[in-house]
Homo-oligomer: A and B are copies of this chain.
Amino acid sequence: MYQAKLEKDIRCPLEYGLDVFGGRWKSRIICVLAHQGTLRYGILKGEMTNITDAVLAQNLKELIADGIVRRTSFDEIPPRVEYNLTEKGESVVPILQTICRWSGAYHREISGLSIAQCRKCDYTAEKRS
């Protein structure tokens, strides 16, 4: 008999962290918001390369549910919605920086590309406040 997938029962903190900001898109969204501050949906989408609305909306929902991103909608026509990091969201930025620095040491050997070519995640740049 086929068993249904095992629940993520007693979750370790590592898994929680990787759920919240791991994956292909979430870390980049946090990354972009950390640099650009508050962004409207369309601008945020433009800062992510090759993301579709379906995927961006899904990831934003999860980030909001996890308390990483704050959504502010204005009652205007045309509609305006802005996204920025919460305090909890800001607190993961140093972790992403650490990963970036670690990866930077090995990145070239893998891709042949300099870390400098990744502008979106360039944590060496000054962060705007």
Q: Which residues of A contact B (CB under 8 A)?
A: 6, 10-18, 20, 22-24, 27-28, 31, 50, 67, 88, 91-92, 94-96, 98-104, 106-107, 110-111, 113, 115, 117-118, 120-121
With A17-B99, A17-B102, A22-B22 known as contacts, the answer to whether A12 contacts B118 (CB < 8 A) is: yes
Taking CB atoms, residues of chain B closer than 8 Å to A17 are: 99-100, 102-103
CA distance A101 to B13 in the complex (A): 8
One of B14, B115, B120 near A27 (C-beta < 8 A): B14
In the bound complex, do residue A23 and residue B22 qualify as a contact, i.e. CB atoms below 8 Å apart?
yes
Give A67 to B109 CA distance when docked, in angstroms: 11
Give the contacting residue for A95; candidates B22, B99, B104, B107; CB below 8 A.
B99
A14→B111 CA distance, assembly (Å):
13
| B50 adjacent to A100 (CB under 8 Å) | no
- Cβ of A13 and Cβ of B95 under 8 Å apart? no
